[in-house]
Structure 1
Amino acid sequence: MIDKNSPIPIYYQLEEKIKTQIDQGELQPGDMLPSEREYASQYAISRMTVRQAITKLVNDGYVYRKKGTGTFVSAKKIDQPLQGLTSFTEDMKARGMVATNRLIHFKVISPPLSVTKALNIDSSTPVYEIQRVRLADGLPMALETTYISKHLIPNITEKLLEQSLYDYVENSLGKEIGEGTQIIESSTVNQNEITHLNVKKGSPVLLIERHTYLKDGTPLELVKSSYRADRYRFMINMQR
């Protein structure tokens, strides 16, 4: 029950109760929460207090609202460690999830200056531009644009992009991937991301720019991704 004599705010007590139900699996992703009226009646508290608790849960990504329908439990976020260089396909497989792609476009372009610098090529070198939605168990997780020199990997096809590119580079081409660097920023979605990630205007995203290199130092790829912040978060283990 809610302890009205506790110094802990009532809205916070309700918020923690709902969080516990979600964390312990009593409420599953996609389940609809009781209405504000039902919570208010159950705990003999005001609907304004219930609304404050639910709004905090929405802001923290535990639940989401559907206008005219109700409030639902969000899908759990995927924790992505920042140690080690892995592909999206490898990440999802390690979590027992099925990674798939929805190809938006795949073409060869004359690279802009930012791409030539990242790949250490001249402007006359043709470059693959690959844009796709990355999905985990059928749910859109990220919108990703990849740039790779056609001279470095000449035989990329749409069929090939259905598998892990890292696996193809290492196991089929015999090229060893060495290291990568990532820059992570926060932003809100643009119209392209709204369309392909199935999110609402104003939703948060994590912008990630990755530079990946072969073992000999040759730039392999430049990847620019927009990850759904309600489905993905990054984790790092730090030692003093």
Structure 2
Amino acid sequence: MSSPIYIRIHNDLKESIEKGKWQVGDRIPAERELAEKYGVSRMTLRQAVQTLVDEGILERRVGSGTFVARKKVQEKMSGTTSFTQLMENQGKTPSSKTISYQVTTPSLSEQEHLKLNDHDNILRMERIRYADAVPICFEVATLPYSLVKNYQRSQITRSLYQTLQEHGLEIGHAQQTVSASSASEKIADYLKIKRGAPILKLRQITKLTTGLPFEYVRTEYAGERFEFYLEK
């Protein structure tokens, strides 16, 4: 099973960064130049770059270009974040709209975060998540296909955590990274907000109590509708 073209470009750019072709703070070539190099459309190239931005590997600077991101100061968060549980705890009705749902080969980042082998496949799904029919966030979730292949699609998209627990798997801890950004045209359209509006980005790797990572999620929240609360 072959990876989408944008994932292959993502992998090549990530490898170039890791090998030192571009250092932290360096500007990578313009999208037009990279699109010509890889022989793809600007849209495909932009999707590859945006994936690296979502992962915190690259960062966009308005009017300047795209740069290799500096490591940010991190605050340790505790607990796991299940959107369904969060909404139900606040008395809201959670729902979602699936944009994409496919079994495919993982990107290098997905493979690393989920500790997968070269021959392993993943389930990657993109969803808009709602609370009382109001769009709250756009989510890209990656799961090891071997873990979920026997579940029905509805069991996964409705509430993955609940499904796992019903089948005897216990949710362990999560590693979470939060950063601020602004809404791209696509995210603004999905979340019904203005382009450039504040966005909270969450990257989360969740493990079972056995220590096995089972979920790698990149989520973009509408800043005007969601906030994170930390308690020490």
Are 1:100 and 1:162, in contact at CA under 8 Å, matched by a contact in 2? no
Task: Give the SS at the match of 2:196.
Answer: coil
Are 2:106 and 2:122, in contact at CA under 8 Å, matched by a contact in 1? yes
Measure, in 2, the Cα distance between the counterparts of 1:147 and 1:201.
26
Measure, in 1, the Cα distance between the counterparts of 2:124 and 2:151.
11
Q: Could you say which structure has the larger radius of gyration?
A: 1
Correspondence 1:163 to 2:158: yes
Q: Paired residue for 1:118?
A: 113
Correspondence 1:178 to 2:172: yes
**Unaligned regions of 5+ residues in structure 2, if any?**
1-76
Residues 21-170 of structure 1 aligned to structure 2 (within 5 Å): 83-170=78-165
Length-normalised TM-score, structure 1: 0.63
Q: Percent identity among equivalent residues?
A: 28
**Unaligned regions of 5+ residues in structure 1, if any?**
1-81
Deviations 1:161-216 (CA, angstroms, capped at 9, x unpaired): 34211010011x21111110100000001122012111111101001000000101
Task: Give the SS at the match of 1:152.
Answer: helix
- Count of paired positions: 156
Length-normalised TM-score, structure 2: 0.65
Deviation at 1:83, TM superposition (A): 4.4
Measure, in 1, the Cα distance between the counterparts of 2:192 and 2:156.
22
Task: Give the SS at the match of 1:163.
Answer: helix
Q: Paired residue for 2:206?
A: 212
Partner residue of 2:192 out of 198, 206, 217: 198
Measure, in 2, the Cα distance between the counterparts of 1:155 and 1:135.
26
Measure, in 2, the Cα distance between the counterparts of 1:83 and 1:116.
24
Deviations 1:94-116 (CA, angstroms, capped at 9, x unpaired): 11100000110100111010000
Are 2:78 and 2:174, in contact at CA under 8 Å, matched by a contact in 1? no
Are 2:156 and 2:163, in contact at CA under 8 Å, matched by a contact in 1? no
Are 2:183 and 2:196, in contact at CA under 8 Å, matched by a contact in 1? yes
Deviation >6 Å, runs of 4+: none
Deviation at 1:151, TM superposition (A): 1.0
Deviations 1:71-101 (CA, angstroms, capped at 9, x unpaired): xxxxxxxxxxx54324110111111100000
Measure, in 1, the Cα distance between the counterparts of 2:156 and 2:133.
17
Q: CA RMSD in A?
A: 1.3
Q: Paired residue for 1:230?
A: 224
Q: Structure 2 counterpart of 1:90, which letter?
A: Q
Deviation at 1:157, TM superposition (A): 3.4
